[in-house]
């Protein structure tokens, strides 16, 4: 796996791993995952001791909004990439006591056959995850815990108390442009918690900033 760059984002626990594609007259080849690299390379130390129990793939039409989802018991981190199309990934800090609690970022992740590289984005436990799509898109994500429908919840991406101040302005405007008359969103996501309502839910105590510091990125 030829890793080109590991980038910190405005939420520093969220990282992007950029890897090479090798093109020729036939197309391209890429090694998108090698366990030994993820476990042993110093620049990927945040992924050491993270195991993956589930791999998911989804297809979304242009204009779809998903999220913002999270889970406990077991905690679930996600390693996400765009297979084809144009995803914008959304990550919201829900760790109570965190200096960035309630702040959201967006990361632009287009992918097509002519792209010179691919990218993973790592969203650790303690963060709610979602996305929106600028083109019809397929994405893939590895999960560090198996899905448990009894211990999941979501913040509505439309919640008025989300703090967008860390988000790149152009991506924020792109998201805002989808909102009037939005139809490609589930009612469950549309009617998810506000930050204030989630903070009052006893289950929110599963996501404490000091717990992450003690347990590590994988909880």
User: Is residue 23 flagged as an active site residue?
Assistant: no
Q: Are 133 and 62 in contact (CB under 8 A)?
A: yes
Q: How far apart are CA 96 and CA 63, in angstroms?
A: 31
Q: Which of 69, 107, 129, 219 is catalytic?
A: 69
Which tokens sit at 158?
Answer: 């439309």
Please classify residue 18 by burial: count the beta carbons closer than 10 Å to its beta carbon, then call 0-12 exposed, 13-18 middle and 19+ buried. Answer: middle
Q: How far apart are CA 64 and CA 106, in angstroms?
A: 15
The H-or-E segment that residue 134 falls in is none
Q: Which of 107, 141, 193, 219 is catalytic?
A: 141
Quickly count helices (H) and strands (E) in the chain.
5, 12
User: Is residue 25 flagged as an active site residue?
Assistant: no
Please list the residues that pair with 2 across neighbouring strands.
Answer: none
Give the other-Cβ count within 10 Å of 19's Cβ: 21
Q: How far apart are CA 91 and CA 85, in angstroms?
A: 19
Q: Which residues are catalytic?
A: 69, 141
């Amino acid at each position: 796996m030829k890793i080109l760059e590991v980038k910190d984002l405005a939420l520093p626990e969220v990282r992007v791993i950029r890897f090479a594609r090798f093109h020729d007259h036939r197309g391209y080849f890429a090694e998108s995952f090698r366990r030994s690299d993820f476990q042993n390379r110093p620049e990927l130390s945040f992924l050491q001791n993270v195991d993956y129990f589930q791999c998911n793939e989804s297809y979304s039409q242009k204009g779809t909004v998903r999220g913002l989802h999270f889970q406990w018991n077991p905690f679930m981190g996600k390693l996400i990439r765009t297979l084809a199309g144009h995803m914008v990934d959304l990550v919201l800090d829900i760790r109570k006591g965190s200096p960035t609690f309630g702040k959201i970022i967006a990361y632009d992740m287009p992918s097509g056959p002519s792209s010179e590289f691919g990218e993973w984005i790592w969203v650790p436990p303690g963060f709610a995850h979602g996305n929106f799509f600028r083109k019809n898109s397929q994405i893939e994500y590895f999960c560090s815990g198996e899905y448990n429908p009894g211990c999941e919840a979501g913040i509505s991406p439309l919640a008025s108390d989300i703090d967008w101040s860390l988000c790149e302005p152009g991506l924020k405007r792109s998201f805002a442009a989808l909102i009037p008359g939005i139809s490609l969103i589930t009612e469950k996501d549309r009617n998810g918690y506000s930050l204030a309502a989630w903070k009052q839910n006893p289950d929110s105590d599963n996501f404490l900033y000091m717990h992450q510091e003690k347990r590590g990125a994988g909880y």
